[in-house]
């Protein structure tokens, strides 16, 4: 909406946006993608802590950026498995699962 107000000032004489989009990504969700080297961790003088992605009403960290990323990857993996099951049938998925378990056992040895 801000860009529309800048490019078309006669049509948008004023704008009061409830949820404006960021102009740049210097403080997008606590991460400055231009300056921070690691989006998942904050380096302090004494310790390295995970950067919070979600807090509850009392300020306790419920989800970190690292765990949020892992949840997204897990959801993508589940969708891929469901697509394989739908496309190739459950038998082929069981064969793939058996092969993965066998390779995991071989890797442990």
Domain extents for the chain?
1-29, 37-108
Please determine, for residue 11, whether its predicted confidence score (pLDDT) is greater than 60.
yes
Contact 39, 31 (CB under 8 A): yes
The 3 state secondary structure assigned to 24-64 is CCCCECCECCCCCCCCCEEECCCCEEECEEEECCCCCEEEE
Q: Both tokens of residue 77?
A: 């993996």
For residues 65-74, average pLDDT: 87
Q: Is residue 60 over pLDDT 70?
A: yes
Whether residue 109 has pLDDT greater than 60: no
45 pLDDT exceeds 80?
yes
Token pair of 49 as six digits: 């802590």
């Amino acid at each position: 909406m801000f860009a529309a107000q800048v490019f078309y000032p006669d049509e948008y004489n004023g704008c009061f946006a409830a949820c404006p989009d960021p102009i740049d990504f210097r403080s997008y969700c606590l991460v400055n993608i231009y300056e921070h080297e690691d989006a998942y961790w904050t380096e302090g003088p004494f310790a390295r802590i995970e950067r919070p992605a979600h807090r509850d009403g009392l300020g306790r960290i419920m989800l970190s950026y690292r765990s949020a990323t892992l949840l997204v990857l897990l959801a993508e993996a589940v969708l891929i498995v469901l697509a394989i099951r739908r496309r190739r049938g459950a038998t082929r998925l069981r064969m793939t699962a058996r092969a993965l378990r066998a390779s995991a056992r071989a890797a442990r040895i």
